[in-house]
Amino acid sequence: MPLHRLRPVRLLLAALVALAGTLLAAAPSPAADAPARGSAYMGIGVLAHDGQNGTPRDTRAAQTEGVDVSGHQGNVAWSTLWSSGVKWAYVKATEGTYYTNPYFAQQYNGSYNLGMIRGAYHFATPDTTGGATQADYFVDHGGGWSKDGRTLPGALDIEWNPYGDSCYGKTQSAMVTWIRDFLNRYKARTGRDAVIYTATSWWTECTGNYGGFATANPLWIARYASTVGTLPAGWGYYTMWQYTSSGPTVGDHDKFNGALDRVQALANG
């Protein structure tokens, strides 16, 4: 091809390369310090977003100590926790539709075998698959319920997205729909209303402080402080409170808002 015809072609190619570079530079990229998919756990975003301001006072009314654990704790020393007064536990079973906890059996059965009342939780990723799909995955991989007096209903861990946008790229109404789809499918599969674990600040930002789940779904509030503070709309009280990520043996410690017989009542449904 003559040189005078090649020149426009080269100019066009150079322009296309420059445009591609501009588009790539503008495209969002995962945060450099984002954790690996599957490694999220209950409360992963609390310290970064809400901070920590003390621990509960010892003079509070009767409450029952519990813990929540996931794969990053590995094999848990359940006998140590039992001896320290921990009477209930929640274990991460699943995340999205792509992860199951490799330590689930040791954690879920180990706590139960020592006499604890235990349940399973699901870390929600509303940006990957639908709510009903994730509920099915949860139930199919350890998140079910049985009326044996020592199995708590499954918990939906819905909080800040550790892998990207805090609200998983969803509008407030779309987030409410996603949560509703999860809760409806979980109840259809198990006969129980799932517990909702969340933080008031996240719930306000990402659901518009929706209050429609409060009549059926127990609230597990996350706040690392001396009091629980303001609860999400609709809930007049909390059922469980994750109050620290730096407690003894496993880090994440919780209070059940009542004596042991109330924990048993929730298990029995």
What H or E segment, with its residue span, contains residue 222?
A: strand 219-222
Q: Is 126 helix (H, G, I), strand (E, B) or coil?
A: coil
Q: Rounded to the nearest 5 degrees, what angle is found at the Cα of 256, between the Cα atoms of 252 and 258? A: 160
* 70 has pLDDT over 50: yes
How would residue 219 be classed by pLDDT, with cut points 50, 70 and 90? very high
Tell me the pLDDT tens digit for each residue of 114-150: 999 999 999 999 999 999 999 999 999 999 999 999 9
| Helical (H) or strand (E) element with 242 | strand 240-247
* pLDDT band at residue 57 under the 50/70/90 scheme: low
Going by pLDDT thresholds of 50, 70 and 90, the confidence category of residue 54 is low
Q: For residues 212-225, give the mean pLDDT.
A: 97
Q: What is the largest CA-CA distance in the chain?
A: 90
Q: Is the pLDDT of residue 205 over 80?
A: yes
Give pLDDT, residue 16.
45
* Cα(73)–Cα(220) distance, integer angstroms: 21
User: How far apart, in whole angstroms, are the C-alpha atoms of residue 195 and residue 224?
Assistant: 19
Per the listing, tokens 């199919």 go with 140
Q: How confident is the model at residue 30 (pLDDT cuts 50, 70, 90)?
A: very low
Q: Which residues are catalytic?
A: 68, 157, 159
d(CA 14, CA 176): 47
pLDDT of res. 28: 38
Q: What is the CA radius of gyration of the chain?
A: 22
pLDDT on residue 114: 95
How far, CA to CA in Å, does 164 sit from each of 125, 196, 246? 11, 21, 25
